[in-house]
A and B are shown apart, each in its own frame.
Chain A
Amino acid sequence: MALGSGFKRLFRIGDPMREIDEELEFHLAMKTEELVASGMTPEAARAKAMERLGDADWIREECGTIRRELDRQREQREWFDTLRRDVRYALRRMARQPVFASLAVLVLALGVGANTTIFRDDPAVEAQDELVGIYRQRLSTDRLRDPRRDFGHLGYLQYKEQARSFAGMTAWRPLGIIMNEADGSVSLSAKLVSSDYFDVLGVDMYLGRSFLPEEGRTPGTHPVAVVSYALWRDRLGANPDLRDLTIRLNQNEFQVVGVAPRGFTGLDVWDERDIWVPLAMESAVNARFPVWGDNFFDDILHVVARLAPGVDVAQAQAELDVLAAQIEEVNEEAGVRRRVVVDSWVRAQSSANFYASNALTPFTALSVLFLVLACVNISGLVLVRTLERRREIGFRLALGAGRGRIVRQLLTESAILAIPAAILGLAVARGLAEGLAVVAGPQLDLSLDHRVMAFAVLTAVVATVLLGLAPALQATRFARWVGESDTPTRSERRPRLLSALVVGQLSATLILLIGAGSFVRTLQRAGSVELGFASENLLLLEPDLRRVEYSAADAQSFYDQLETRIAHLPGVTAVTTAGNVPRFDNGIARWCQRDLWREGSDELPPMTVEYNTVGPGYFETMGIPVVAGRGFSRPDGEGGAPVAVVNETLAETLGGPTPPLGQQVRLAGSCFSDTLTVQVIGVVADVRTFMLDDAPPPEVFLPIEQTPSANRVVIARNVPGAAGLSNTIRREVGAIDPLLLTPEVESMEERIEQGLSTQRTMADLSTVVGILSLLLATIGLFASLAFAVSRRTKEFGIRVALGARKLEVLRLVLGEGMTLTGIGVVVGLGASYWLLRVVNASVFTDVGTEFTRPDPWVIGACVLVLFTAALAACWRPARRATTTHPMETLRYE
């Protein structure tokens, strides 16, 4: 009992009720003694004392309640006291190590900032995993892969009506569009959508309403539009009252009925200058290749459906297999059967025609890797600090500080790092966002909203726990170090954990560098790719004759006149027309493809080729070299023999090494009413047609007069610096037919520039991430390597004292650093090879494209950069090691 209470007294713990009993018992004993002294018998005295005391139970209860409250109060006060002490202690420590503190805060801030910038919110589409993309694909394919195709309007309607597996099926086509404003025009990316578009995606409007069913029924009757939040905010005055808000699109007035939620960009990526218009209004915005109507085969409408409840992709595919057998048979096209493919939208996104969505996937992978790297680095920094403090922590453990107490203190210290880092991180994120906005233009809305703030706070919290916990757990093992000197024992000279950490850091950095590097390189290659033609000094003009009901003959005469007039303008050196020109719009406006059979192989499945009709002088005007045979000339016009020119890719397929001149090929396909047999008369060099990063597809050219079309592009080559030519050309159109809408004149270079803007943005973002990660890794390496070396200060000092030459010590230190770097490089290379395979296998299966294999130059450059950074990180500690005076190392003891 005595021992027990003594123990209790020492630790101020124990049962409060027992203390109260003891206190009361003391009182009774003293009172009894007093009464006995005044002459009472002990029994009587005791009874009297009890009586005088009163109701003992009541007293106990009362005192117990008060005591418990008191204890609670004390605990709270103690907790705050401890916190205050921890904070003061941590701040004092950091004040003594300002470099470490600022480095750690900086790295964290970069990590938080970069990730806050990178992890932008997704479009507000509901339950994306229920969405499926629907495509048409040929049943059997030849050696040229048959791409996934989209739908014509009729096809879409037929499947939509008959399929039962879906809660809804929507179709849309992207279209570049001009919004006419009082002070000029701005180009928007429009989506012409079926009226149920927003309902199928499950998107609630920010303002107003989405489209009504009747707005999708009759063509040309409901000029309404939904605009993106960014467009409404930046260009339309951000007025919440939509009643009087009208806009002019391609010179036609539209009523704005709704504003899409902030950040929603549709199922296409990253273009915030968006506008949605009912597909039925197609003609009012002068879409090329109108899709509305009875055409079954146009490959223009993207179709996405939401699975009905309880239906999975496989079930939907089974239903569509049956359905396609009926529908496609009715619409069979020149003996070519197609099947219909259902694919989860999330997966299909990367297989869609859009370059940008392909680019986003590796980019996201990069940013996640960056976050991992940031955590590894910070953890490393803190671990290094904790290792350095093992003696202090050991002492404190030995002096009776509880483990919990130590852990709490380390967590407090990391929180003190994380909180300013989060604040600074937001500043970094803001800076990055502004920088990116400058780089990317108004396409990216990178303003910081509450979700971004929440992400930053979350990162800070997670970082705190990660930072503090691992080192703290490690620290509790330090008790055994008490009394030892700071000199590492043999076994821990190169602590395994630290080495592993350094290697981990290095390899993660390498992966990130290679990823960012090859990504940037892919994009660069796309940007600097040989176009195959002379893109400078070309002007493009697309008059729209459909609105004035030109017959084929009238159109021919119109273009003849226009060509003549333009050819006579001063500054114009050549002019021609074509059904289409290279667009570089990320495949949005893919034109008609053809099926092609080579001579004598009618039984075999055809190959899919791109198709264009061009006027005489097209190849000369565009600057496309004719490799074999000849280009078109006037006699190839109307009534001439059916001839064709093929590009090199197709020529190789047709004739191998010998040009297939004179070969007959048969052409059929969606935009043809009949089958054509043509003779190949020439081969031209490959030209990039759609996406700058794509390999040129096989392509066939026919003379434009033999397949007259009311819509053509007029291409004029001008002498450099021919100012004002655009306006002169536009006036010529008005001079021929004043009824025509005056068309825009665009330069080919502007068009290429537009096509590149997405790639540019991606490349810039990746470069930023790459630089940030290198910075991060270098900081981490500095800390880890510097620590690893400083632990051996004494050893080096002794070596110097024993006559080791400075060069040897230098070599020793650098050797250690470089060995770790070497291991890190090997691990990193292996890991990035493996990651690449995993990414390509999981994301890019049965897609024509994949994450480009990093070329040796990129890998070499990355390894070199890493070694340089590591060398720089080793340099200072190495210098210190060589200049360490032997006496100094003794003083360390």
Chain B
Amino acid sequence: MTSPRDNLIPGTLNLLVLKAVSTGPLHGYGISKWILDRTTDVLRVEEGVLYPALHRLEKEGSLESEWGRNDTGRRAKFYELTPAGGERLAAEIERWRRTSRAVEVVIAAEGA
């Protein structure tokens, strides 16, 4: 109960959420589905962890939220990327790439 049940590599959840929302406004369930659909079982998210992340991103100004209706007319809270969120996404992607490249280099060196 003490730590987030985040099975992901630390820090990647924000990237995934921002990426999901960058396609257009989505509610929490939509975001989790988007992530699960694209990562299958490799990046398995315990779904509840998503929500504190969403609220934190909103607090930090990367996301904006608004209550609206989904296709079936049910009330849902939609999240949208702010310009600041867009910049943050780009930065997160850049960071991820750098990290993975570095790790890649290390692995390659070991194999040689």
Interface residue ranges, A against B (CB under 8 Å): 5, 9, 19-20, 22-24, 26-27, 29-31, 34, 52-56, 58-59, 62-63, 66-67, 69-70, 73
- Contact B74–A29 (Cβ < 8 Å): yes
With both beta carbons as reference points, the residue of chain B lying nearest to A28 in the complex is identified as B29
Cα distance A5–B51 in the bound complex, in angstroms: 20
Supposing A66-B55, A69-B59 touch, asked if A52 and B46 sit within 8 A by C-beta, the answer is yes
- Contact B47–A22 (Cβ < 8 Å): no
- Contact B75–A5 (Cβ < 8 Å): yes
B108 adjacent to chain A (CB < 8 Å): no
Q: What are the 10 A-B residue pairs with the smallest beta carbon separation, nearest first?
A: A54-B48, A62-B52, A66-B55, A30-B29, A53-B48, A70-B59, A59-B48, A54-B46, A27-B29, A63-B55
Cα distance A520–B28 in the bound complex, in angstroms: 83
- Contact A23–B74 (Cβ < 8 Å): no
List 26 contacting pairs A-B, 8 Å CB cutoff, sorted by A.
A5-B67, A9-B67, A19-B77, A22-B77, A24-B48, A26-B29, A26-B75, A27-B47, A27-B51, A29-B74, A30-B29, A31-B47, A34-B33, A52-B47, A54-B5, A54-B47, A55-B48, A56-B48, A58-B48, A59-B48, A59-B51, A62-B51, A63-B55, A66-B52, A66-B56, A70-B58
- Contact B55–A67 (Cβ < 8 Å): yes
Q: What's the nearest-Cβ distance from chain A to residue B101, in Å?
A: 33
Cα distance A19–B78 in the bound complex, in angstroms: 12
- Contact A26–B47 (Cβ < 8 Å): no
Contacts of B47 in A (CB 8 A): 27, 31, 52-54
- Contact A26–B74 (Cβ < 8 Å): yes
Beyond known contacts A27-B32, A54-B47, A63-B55: 10 more, CB 8 A cutoff: A24-B48, A26-B74, A26-B76, A26-B77, A55-B1, A55-B48, A58-B1, A62-B51, A63-B52, A66-B55
Contacts of B1 in A (CB 8 A): 55, 58
Q: What's the nearest-Cβ distance from chain A to residue B73, in Å?
A: 12
Contacts of A73 in B (CB 8 A): 59
B27 adjacent to chain A (CB < 8 Å): yes
With both beta carbons as reference points, the residue of chain A lying nearest to B77 in the complex is identified as A23
How many B residues are at the interface, by size bracket?
20 to 34
Contacts of B103 in A (CB 8 A): none
B49 adjacent to chain A (CB < 8 Å): yes
Cα distance A54–B7 in the bound complex, in angstroms: 12
With both beta carbons as reference points, the residue of chain A lying nearest to B76 in the complex is identified as A26
Q: What's the nearest-Cβ distance from chain A to residue B80, in Å?
A: 15
Q: What's the nearest-Cβ distance from chain B to residue A57, in Å?
A: 9
Contacts of A52 in B (CB 8 A): 46-47
Contacts of B52 in A (CB 8 A): 59, 62-63, 66
Contacts of A66 in B (CB 8 A): 52, 55-56, 58-59
Q: What's the nearest-Cβ distance from chain A to residue B48, in Å?
A: 4
Cα distance A29–B73 in the bound complex, in angstroms: 13
- Contact B48–A31 (Cβ < 8 Å): no
- Contact A23–B48 (Cβ < 8 Å): no
Q: What's the nearest-Cβ distance from chain A to residue B46, in Å?
A: 4
Cα distance A9–B77 in the bound complex, in angstroms: 11
- Contact A27–B75 (Cβ < 8 Å): no
Interface residue ranges, B against A (CB under 8 Å): 1, 5, 27-29, 32-33, 46-49, 51-52, 55-56, 58-59, 67, 74-77
- Contact B48–A70 (Cβ < 8 Å): no
Q: What's the nearest-Cβ distance from chain A to residue B56, in Å?
A: 5
With both beta carbons as reference points, the residue of chain A lying nearest to B32 in the complex is identified as A27
With both beta carbons as reference points, the residue of chain A lying nearest to B68 in the complex is identified as A9
Contacts of B51 in A (CB 8 A): 20, 23-24, 27, 59, 62-63
Q: What's the nearest-Cβ distance from chain A to residue B14, in Å?
A: 14
Contacts of A55 in B (CB 8 A): 1, 5, 48
Cα distance A29–B28 in the bound complex, in angstroms: 12
Contacts of B58 in A (CB 8 A): 66, 70
- Contact A23–B46 (Cβ < 8 Å): no
Contacts of A67 in B (CB 8 A): 55
Cα distance A22–B51 in the bound complex, in angstroms: 12
Q: What's the nearest-Cβ distance from chain A to residue B84, in Å?
A: 14
Among B47, B48, B56, chain A packs the most CB atoms within 10 A around the CB of B48
Contacts of A23 in B (CB 8 A): 27-28, 51, 76-77
Cα distance A26–B72 in the bound complex, in angstroms: 12
Cα distance A325–B32 in the bound complex, in angstroms: 104
Q: What's the nearest-Cβ distance from chain A to residue B98, in Å?
A: 29
Cα distance A631–B48 in the bound complex, in angstroms: 119
Contacts of B75 in A (CB 8 A): 5, 22, 26
Contacts of A70 in B (CB 8 A): 55, 58-59
With both beta carbons as reference points, the residue of chain A lying nearest to B30 in the complex is identified as A30
Cα distance A19–B47 in the bound complex, in angstroms: 18
Cα distance A70–B61 in the bound complex, in angstroms: 10
With both beta carbons as reference points, the residue of chain B lying nearest to A60 in the complex is identified as B51
Cα distance A847–B27 in the bound complex, in angstroms: 88
Q: What's the nearest-Cβ distance from chain B to residue A36, in Å?
A: 14
Q: What's the nearest-Cβ distance from chain B to residue A792, in Å?
A: 53
Q: What's the nearest-Cβ distance from chain B to residue A80, in Å?
A: 16
Q: What's the nearest-Cβ distance from chain B to residue A3, in Å?
A: 13
With both beta carbons as reference points, the residue of chain A lying nearest to B48 in the complex is identified as A54
With both beta carbons as reference points, the residue of chain B lying nearest to A30 in the complex is identified as B29
- Contact B49–A26 (Cβ < 8 Å): no
Cα distance A23–B26 in the bound complex, in angstroms: 12
Cα distance A29–B27 in the bound complex, in angstroms: 13
Among A31, A55, A62, chain B packs the most CB atoms within 10 A around the CB of A62
Cα distance A24–B56 in the bound complex, in angstroms: 16
Cα distance A53–B51 in the bound complex, in angstroms: 10
Contacts of A20 in B (CB 8 A): 51
- Contact B27–A26 (Cβ < 8 Å): yes
Contacts of B27 in A (CB 8 A): 23, 26
Cα distance A877–B67 in the bound complex, in angstroms: 58
Contacts of B32 in A (CB 8 A): 27
Contacts of A62 in B (CB 8 A): 51-52, 55
Contacts of B48 in A (CB 8 A): 24, 53-56, 58-59
Q: What's the nearest-Cβ distance from chain B to residue A71, in Å?
A: 10
Q: What's the nearest-Cβ distance from chain A to residue B4, in Å?
A: 8
Q: What's the nearest-Cβ distance from chain B to residue A610, in Å?
A: 89
With both beta carbons as reference points, the residue of chain A lying nearest to B74 in the complex is identified as A26
Cα distance A82–B90 in the bound complex, in angstroms: 33
With both beta carbons as reference points, the residue of chain B lying nearest to A71 in the complex is identified as B59
Cα distance A52–B32 in the bound complex, in angstroms: 11
With both beta carbons as reference points, the residue of chain B lying nearest to A31 in the complex is identified as B29
Supposing A53-B47, A53-B48, A55-B1 touch, asked if A27 and B28 sit within 8 A by C-beta, the answer is yes
Cα distance A26–B50 in the bound complex, in angstroms: 14
Contacts of A24 in B (CB 8 A): 48, 51
Cα distance A282–B20 in the bound complex, in angstroms: 99
With both beta carbons as reference points, the residue of chain B lying nearest to A8 in the complex is identified as B67
Cα distance A20–B58 in the bound complex, in angstroms: 14
Cα distance A53–B5 in the bound complex, in angstroms: 11
Contacts of A19 in B (CB 8 A): 77
Contacts of A34 in B (CB 8 A): 33
Q: What's the nearest-Cβ distance from chain A to residue B74, in Å?
A: 7
Cα distance A419–B49 in the bound complex, in angstroms: 52
Q: What's the nearest-Cβ distance from chain B to residue A444, in Å?
A: 60
Cα distance A24–B28 in the bound complex, in angstroms: 8
Cα distance A460–B24 in the bound complex, in angstroms: 54
